[in-house]
Structure 1
Amino acid sequence: MKQVRPKKNLGQHFLTDLTIAKRIADTVDACPELPILEVGPGMGVLTQYLVEKPREVKAVEIDTESVAYLYERFPRLRDNILGEDFLRMDLSKIFEGRQFVLTGNYPYDISSQIFFKMLDNKDLIPCCTGMIQREVAQRMASQPNTKAYGILSVMIQAWYDVEYLFTVDEGVFNPPPKVKSAVIRMTRNETTSLGCNEQLFKRVVKTVFNQRRKMLRVSMRPLFADHTVSEGFFSHDIMTRRPEQLTIKEFVELTNMVETELATI
């Protein structure tokens, strides 16, 4: 069977260590019984262990060469190999509206986009696992008052509990990436509502982290554009803090403050 050539433009780094592949595949066991969607299976190094589990498995792969390889290697999975772009898919149709586990050896250059799509479909995805660039994994799992804490930390931890499981060295890939990787698991927490306008919450978080070293009284001003803010708004105690110092609860409170202020303009 002809091997698939890793493609730089797709960010492909094929895992070659089977022990690590099985460890990654087994991370889905934290959410038993749910069907599994694997993103970017490549030559099926994770897929071979996922299909051993007693549940439905589908795999989405944008690379046509990989799809052809997977058809030949996993003939019984043929109808469940989706030759599509994950970022453009309607996830509600994959398992007919049922919840599923998302997993994969995610392409580094679109991993953040994958997780933002996960957030947009959080009611469908109670569990997400897989391997990403270590730096991204650290950001996702980091806590307030750390350098890694940022937009991804806040947006994901608002809805998911994040576990940094283990680090993976560069040498177990073909071709080896220039950075280390990490395996993570995210499990939906008990939050059903943030207690604020969720779209405005996203705007607030992204806006203030765009100037993460500035105090909020400076970094928040773009939210109000050319509008005049009421006297005293920027004199609240919270305005002397930087975004990396705020908990998710405090970001919710900040969002409600902004919404109230915008309503008076």
Structure 2
Amino acid sequence: MKIAVITGASSGMGREFAVQVSKLYRNLDEIWVVARRTERLEELKKKLTVPVRIFDGDLGRDYIYERIEKSLDQKQAKIRLLVNAAGYGKMGFTEKLDSLDLCGMIQLNCIALTKMTHLCLPYMERGARVVQVASAAAFAPQPGFAVYAASKSYVYSFSRALRMELKKHGISVTAVCPGPVDTEFFDRAGSLPGKGKEGLLAEEASVVRLALLDAVWRKPVSVYGSTMKLCRIGAKILPDGILAWAMKKLNQV
């Protein structure tokens, strides 16, 4: 059985990945979607042309991984595509944010992503692809968004290293690093800081389309938009101290 596994599929980019993967990958037997909100996953299942298997649960708990691994063994599944899109952010000064939110970002954005990747790798063969949703926030320290940016820096670095480790197996890894995307993300994260940033909001469908195309071409990083591409170049040139100062001014914190 050939499958795709997508986390965070109940909303935002994760949901959009499921929609577009069902159209792009014609030879899949099933798409396995992972998220907490069962009703959202059921709605998604009705809209896709590819059969969908639902894994509703909290990626912060061990039972969800046990369910997935058991199903992978029982179905003798071969994962052609893994998309780790689950994640969230919370804006504000670290000292003023709740510790549950701070640690929750690390738990979901870093630990859950790592556990899901490690779980799925034994079921991937030559030609398979891993898509890790990071963020352009990974490119520089972000005062006022410090833990989220740091967690996405982990995803970015982990993905680049994992790509080299898996090269001998013919498995590619693409880190997706968009700027702000017009999704439900900001309902939880808070208002976009700084003036004029609303103009930088990208459409999720466009970001996901580019990410999947870049994954098809086995590119190491997918960055949507010329502004974010310039930010990536600038982050490679400027010292961290200057970057942190610039982001503090930009975020108006």
| TM-score, normalised relative to structure 2 | 0.43
Q: Which gives a bigger RCO, structure 1 or 2 (Cα 8 Å, sep 6+)?
A: 2
Question: By percentage of residues, which structure has more helix?
Answer: 2
The normalised TM-score by structure 1 is 0.41
